[in-house]
Structure 1
Amino acid sequence: MEGTPVTVASVSEVGPETVTLELETPDGFDALPGQFVLLRAKPDEEVLSRHYTLSSPSVGETFELTVGVDPDGDLSPWLAALERGDTVHIDGPFGRITYEGEDDVVALAGGPGIGPSVAVAEAAHDAGHDAVVIYQADEPAHTDRLEALEDAGATVVFVDDGVNDELADAIETHREEGQLYAFGFDDFVTFVADAIEDAGGDPDDALIENFG
């Protein structure tokens, strides 16, 4: 199997059908919040690969990936069942959507986009900057980390899935409070870009990661 073998440090449930993989950082691996890796694994006879964006604010002895678990999926249930000491393979990091500690941030998350969004917000807070997280989901994940951010002075706005008027209002209210980031699937990030423009902003100034 191609890629760099990495050891699983832990697997934790962080929301409904959502887990985080904490992986031991291999030699030479250096990544910024917002970047992603290609993960390879062999649950049965076939090697499967998926892209996962980092959900840890930094890379030290370990780093973290957030995985949405589809009970009927061919890879995510297997990943969720991994144990300490198991191995997966990664390539990367990849991606130009990064946070380098220089600005206040407004991180917009649609569903699984909460992983990189909370990482960017935590990295901003750790660097002494303000952070806003606007999170649209029916069943939120990473609520403990979001509550910790709120306790530290960050703004966290929850929006129910499909309630796009509230999402647009939140974008209009907070869009000028920092560098805009958006992580999520195509429908979400397309709506975000349109809402930024409708509010008088330039969506080209936002750092948007489309999960497809």
Structure 2
Amino acid sequence: MDGTEVAVRSVETVGTDTIALTLETPAEFDAAPGQFVQLAATIDGEEVTRHYTLSSPDADETFETTVEVDPDGSLSPYLADLDAGDTVEVAGPFGDAYYEGEESVVVLAGGPGVGPAVGIGERASADGAAVTVVYEDDDPAHEERLTALADASATVAVTDDVSSEDVLEVLADAQGQTFIYGFADFLDRATAALDAANVDAEDAKAENFGPAP
């Protein structure tokens, strides 16, 4: 798949083995928070591609993806070692599980799903929407942005168990378009939690990141 070469603006550590990669936005690139892109780089003479979901509230001049760095991974360690001014190839955006100006949003995120969660949360909050974010991780990333969302009147629940009673109470009280982002096992747990909270997950916008590494 053909991509566009873009410059790296910054690489920031936002959690344990987690970076926020900010890239210049290609021309005619129209992406919404929650969509994903394909990043490509040539490593040891071979092109390596992976998909990453936007974690910025917009893509006007730059956009951000949040990358969970696997030391044994093919692309993520390379991305983590980039400097401002280096380049990568970007194709996309792709996906239909994205924010479309809904009046209220409920985002469930597992692991690297926190990226689209903060991006959607910030965009929806700026639009005046009601925001609920439930984030399952025993070593959270993007804590500063999550705190800022809570300070802006969003409901933010960080947990190591999306099915806990506290989380179910939050989900039962929340209203709006539901989004789910994470690896396949998290999507199963999140859907079960919604069911347990008597929330209809049938119309949820979900992005499955595949099997957990």
- TM-score range (shorter-chain normalised) is over 0.9
Q: 1:154: which partner in 2? A: 154
Contact persistence 1:136–1:159 (CA under 8 A): yes
Task: Rate the CA distance shift 1:99–1:154 in 2: closer, same or farther, 3 A.
Answer: same
Cα distance between partner residues in 1 of 2:205 and 2:139? 25
The 2-side partners of 1:90 and 1:26 are apart by: 8
Written as runs of structure 1 = structure 2, the 5 A alignment for 1:112-191 is: 112-160=112-160, 163-166=161-164, 169-175=166-172, 176-191=174-189
Cα deviation code 1:94-128 (max 9, x no counterpart): 00111122321111110000000111111110101
Q: Are the aligned partners of 2:163 and 2:193 in contact in 1 as well (CA < 8 Å)?
A: no
Shift of 1:164: 4.6
Counterpart code for 1:208: A
Amino acid at match of 2:202: D
1:19/1:156 CA distance change after superposition, 3 Å: same
Residue deviations 1:17-53 (CA, integer Å, cap 9, x gap): 0001100011100101110001111122110000000
Q: What displacement does 1:172 show? A: 4.8
Mapped to 2, the partners of 1:16 and 1:200 lie a distance apart of 34
Query: 1:109–1:135: 8 Å Cα contact kept in structure 2?
Result: yes
Instruction: Tell me by how many angstroms 1:72 deviates.
Output: 1.7
AA matched with 1:191: R
Q: Which runs of 4+ in 1 moved over 3 A?
A: none
Is the CA contact (8 Å cut-off) linking 1:183 and 1:208 kept in structure 2? yes
Unmatched runs of 5 consecutive residues or more in structure 2: none
Aligned residue-pair number = 209
Identity of aligned residues (%): 53
Indicate whether 1:64 and 2:36 are aligned.
no
Alpha-carbon distance in structure 2 between the residues aligned to 1:157 and 1:108: 10
- Cα 1:207–1:147 change in 2 (3 A) is same
Aligned-residue CA RMSD in angstroms? 1.5
* Distance in 1 of aligned mates of 2:163 and 2:109: 16
Aligned to 1:23: 23
* Counterpart check, 1:207 vs 2:208: no
| In structure 2, C-alpha distance between the alignment counterparts of 1:16 and 1:173, rounded to whole Å | 27
What is the one-letter code of the residue matched to 2:184?
D
Aligned to 1:96: 96
Query: 1:101, 1:124 within 8 Å by CA — same for their partners in 2?
Result: yes
Name 1:53's counterpart in structure 2: 53
SS of the residue corresponding to residue 204 of structure 1 reads coil
- CA 61–165 in structure 1, closer or farther in 2 if over 3 Å, else same: closer
Distance 1:164 1:123, change over 3 A: closer
8 Å contact 1:172–1:195 — kept in the other structure? no
Gaps of 5+ in 1: none
